Amino acid sequence: MATMTMAGAINAGMRAAMERDPKVTLMGEDIGKLGGVFRVTDGLHKDFGDDRVMDSPLAESGIVGTAIGMAMRGYSPVIEIQFDGFIFPAYNQITTQLAKMHYRSRGMINLPVVIRVPFAGGIGAVEHHSESPESLFAHTAGLRAVSPASPQDAFDLIQQAIACPDPVMFFEPKARYWDKGEVDVERVPAQLASDGGVAAATAEMGRARVARQGKDVTLIAYGPTMRLALQAAEVASKEGKSVEVIDLRSISPMDSDTVVKSVKRTGRAVIVHEAPTNFGSGAELSSRITEQAFFHLHAPVLRVGGFSTPYPGAKFEHDYLPDVDRVLDAVDRVTRH
């Protein structure tokens, strides 16, 4: 076991993947000698060199297009989009090429590309640096979308994503980069070294986990809002409410089985994410809960998220983001029934 920040855990996970497979390469703006804006790739250029840790031009569409070409030639590129709001110049490459090439080629072409996206708010950034675009990519068939909520999960998920034969959108909650936690640095390498390791790692990457057990309400979150969900559950427990917290981990594919099993037991559900609730991942999850657990529900499924406005300036972001009070208000509303 080792104590790491989430940024350090992602770095260690990429290092482990690069040591296992010489075809794993990194590419992005300022990720080389600088180590990236958030220093997530710090030290990797020094140890693996220019051929495997490549600084790119300021051209997101070009970065993704190059990664697609490299993947078609047998490489496993891991690319960084410097900030969430900068991903849109590459949106066409991601959704019309990367997501569809395997299907279009009838399975003859695999594109094992991982796109790392520092996303969400809470760091007091300027415009276009605190977006939550995950639902745009989760809606696109052919892409996986995952988001870690702890250093251990970051270490596990990045290696599982790199090993996965599908393209993966890897959404990193940048406000959580410096959260520290214990990391078992042997668990995933041992899994990948076993028979059927890649298949097992890919399956595990798509599973949600129960982060806290409870019996009155199921609270579902992922990535940047997991810490908030656990804080709200702790406050609710002091008010006599037992809240079960589920870390969704994979936004697409979505492990609705784990969620529905919990909701059938508690009879109530609240979903929390930073993205606007309109047409978001919470809406999809709410629909699945209603379809699969309708007769177990004691109250409507509620969502707590960002508002249907552009992300505000840093001075007002904490009025926009979900907080403990908003989550507890939703918990109170569903437990009145």
Chain-centre distance for alpha carbon 168 = 10
Instruction: Say how far apart CA 322 and CA 20 lie, in whole Å.
Output: 40
Which of 331, 329, 271, 266 lies closest to 293, judged by CA?
266
In this structure, what is the dihedral angle of CA atoms 17, 19, 24, 29, given to the nearest 10 degrees?
90
Instruction: Give the strand pairing for 243-247 and 144-146.
Output: unpaired
Task: Give the torsion sign (CA, 176, 128, 319, 337).
Answer: negative
Q: Does a cis peptide bond (omega within 30 degrees of 0) precede residue 253? A: yes
Which of 89, 79, 75 lies closest to 114, judged by CA?
79
State the DSSP string of 124-170. ---TTSS---HHHHHTSTT-EEE---SHHHHHHHHHHHHH-SS-EEE
Chain-centre distance for alpha carbon 136 = 13
Considering the candidates 45, 102, 129, 273, report the single residue annotated as catalytic. Answer: 129
Active site residue 296: no
Instruction: Say how far apart CA 101 and CA 95 lie, in whole Å.
Output: 10
Please state, in angstroms and as integers, the Cα–Cα distance from residue 302 to each residue in 47, 79, 206, 287, 321, following that order: 48, 35, 24, 11, 16
Instruction: Give the strand pairing for 217-221 and 76-80.
Output: unpaired
Q: Is 265 helix (H, G, I), strand (E, B) or coil?
A: helix
Strand partners, 270: 219, 302
Please state, in angstroms and as integers, the Cα–Cα distance from residue 145 to each residue in 100, 152, 222, 281, 332, following that order: 15, 18, 11, 11, 31
Catalytic residues: 129
